[in-house]
Amino acid sequence: MNSEKKKKCFGKKLAIAAIGGLLCGAAVFAIPTGYNRIMEGRAEQNAGPVDTEQENQEKENLILTSDSTQGARESSVYDVSAVWNSALPSVVIVNVKQVSTYRFLGRVYEQESSGSGTGVIFAQGDALYVATNHHVIDGATTILLTFADGTTAPAEVKGSSPTEDIAVLAVKYSDISESTLKNIRIAALGNSDSLKCGDMVIAIGNAAGQGLSLTVGYVSALDREIELEGGKMTLLQTDAAINPGNSGGPLLNAKGELIGINNAKLVKTSVEGVGYAIPVNTAALVINQLLHAEEIEYKDSAYLGVKCQDVTETLSEALDMPVGVYIAEMTDESPAAEAGIPLYAVIVEVNGISVKNEEQLREVLAGIRGGSEGTVVVQERIRGEYTKKEYKVTYGKRKDVEK
């Protein structure tokens, strides 16, 4: 039997609040040093093209959709062509292929499927780095990027965070034509913390897999907590049309600065114009972590010395505790104890990456080298109320406690 081919635009279905639906998660890989720091310089670091001298350089559901130099004038509600022209060189189409196997009448068959999304050129160093959504590339066997000029290049996943729905792709400079390198640009970063309801925004993406297009709207709400399977995300809400295929694409302000990564749309027959994006300040923090991450053997990975229990959404509501990883036991003289982290606190973040359960905690620690310094954020009960506190930690080495 021949393989049946399918094509789709990302992407998956999620649930909002307590309503059921489908979900949109992690491997961390070695990243060469020398790339431009994402949070540093912001728009100033994006003034020029990529360095060509580096040769190797009907229920309420959510559907994941799967010249940085600014123009001479700021776009208005009547004309956003300046944003389109300045941002387009930093936007790519992400096409993926997946191969799945299934059994039928005792025989094994392969089925190939394809999907498309969008990405944003975020940084450069030993390779060109592109940010997109985790759900766009989840399970991909091949990834092919298409630049604004129509040329293509293969990409590899260098890091991915299913919890935050962020992935980083790397493209070898040798796979990018010289003319393309001269014209592509790194996205100019804005500040999502400064956004206000009513600010105009522009979304660019590979909507419906038909090529890059632009939609315009406004910031409808800030800090929307959207319930997904296994946790929540805090997102920007916009009425700019976010459609399947827009996943991973940029949400821009009137200056053409990146202020969000598009990732979801509310679908309901009685609802129009409700889309969501990951705030760029959140995305940049996660991307920096992924770019810094290195491939570490398990024995050399970080160790905290705590025994934990998950505080799920259900337990959180029942026990009036924050969602996270509850410290039930702590080893004497462990890294956590020496850092002053109290017993019975709830771990919510490690080295800037949020953790909502023990599996995610192990995942993050596996990408940290033992002996290095970092930060652990906990919610601890003080005078009957939970308060967030950050502790500096020197992580232990896994091999030292599992001899």
Q: Could you report how far apart the first and last alpha carbons of the chain are, in Å? A: 51
**Looking at residue 272, what is its pLDDT?**
63
Radius of gyration of the chain (CA): 22
Please name the residue that has the structure tokens 């930060």: 375
Residue 134 is among the residues annotated as catalytic for this protein = no
What's the pLDDT at 344? 93
Of 74-83, 224-233, 242-251, 304-313, the one with minimum mean pLDDT is 224-233
135 included as an active-site residue: yes
Of 105-109, 161-165, 296-300, 379-383, which has the strongest mean pLDDT? 379-383
Residues 135, 160, 161, 192: which is the catalytic one? 135
Q: What is the mean pLDDT of the chain?
A: 78
Give the active site residue among 86, 116, 165, 354: 165
pLDDT digits 0-9 by tens, 170-181: 999 999 999 999
What is the pLDDT at residue 306?
A: 93
CB contact at 8 A, 242 and 201: no
In this predicted structure, what is the pLDDT of residue 39? 40
Question: Which residues make Cβ contacts (< 8 Å) with residue 365, sequence separation at least 6?
Answer: 301, 302, 303, 304, 350, 395
Q: Which amino acid, residue 216? A: V
Model-wide pTM > 0.85: no
Q: What is the pLDDT of residues 215-225, one digit of tens each?
A: 999 999 998 88
pLDDT higher than 60, residue 259: yes
* pLDDT level of residue 394 (50, 70, 90 thresholds): very high
Q: Where are the domains of the chain?
A: 6-292, 298-401
Six-digit token pair at 275?
């889309």
**267 has a pLDDT exceeding 70:** no
DSSP per-residue string spanning 135-175: HHHTT-SEEEEE-TTS-EEE-EEEEEETTTTEEEEEE-GGG
Write the burial class of residue 33 (CB in 10 Å: 0-12 exposed, 13-18 middle, 19+ buried): exposed
Q: What is the pLDDT of residues 129-148, one digit of tens each?
A: 999 998 898 888 899 999 99
How far is the CA of 327 from the CAs of 186, 188, 361, 385, 402, in angstroms? 41, 41, 12, 17, 20
Q: State which H helix or E strand residue 117 sits in.
A: strand 107-124
Q: Spell 110-137 as b/e; 16+ CB within 10 A means b.
A: eeebbbbbbbbbbbbbbbbbbbbbbbbb
d(CA 316, CA 326): 11
Q: Does domain 6-292 have CATH number 2.40.10.120?
A: yes
Which is higher by pLDDT, 14 or 122?
122
Tell me if 308 sits within 8 A of 325, measured CB to CB: yes
The architecture (CATH level 2) of 298-401 comes to Roll (2.30)
Please, are residues 356 and 323 in contact by the beta-carbon 8 Å criterion? yes
Instruction: Count the Cβ atoms, other than its own, within 10 Å of residue 319.
Output: 10
pLDDT at 126 over 50: yes
Residue found by looking up tokens 């293969």 in the block: 154
User: What size, in residues, is the chain?
Assistant: 403
State mean pLDDT over 325-338: 92
Task: Name the more confident of 358 and 367.
Answer: 358
pLDDT at 65: 54
Q: Is 213 helix (H, G, I), strand (E, B) or coil?
A: strand
Cα separation, 92 vs 130, in Å, equals 8
Q: Are 190 and 46 in contact (CB under 8 A)?
A: no
Catalytic residue among 86, 160, 192, 247: 247
Q: How far apart are CA 204 and CA 277, in angstroms?
A: 12
pLDDT value of position 80: 86
pLDDT, tens digit, for every residue of 56-93?
443 344 545 553 344 445 555 568 888 999 999 999 99
Residue 208 has pLDDT above 70, yes or no: yes
247 catalytic per annotation = yes
The number of angstroms, rounded, from the C-alpha of 180 to the middle of its chain's C-alpha atoms is 25
- The pLDDT, as a whole number, for residue 362 is 87
Supply the DSSP symbol for 315. H
**Full DSSP string of 58-86:** --SEEEE----SPPSS---SS--HHHHHH
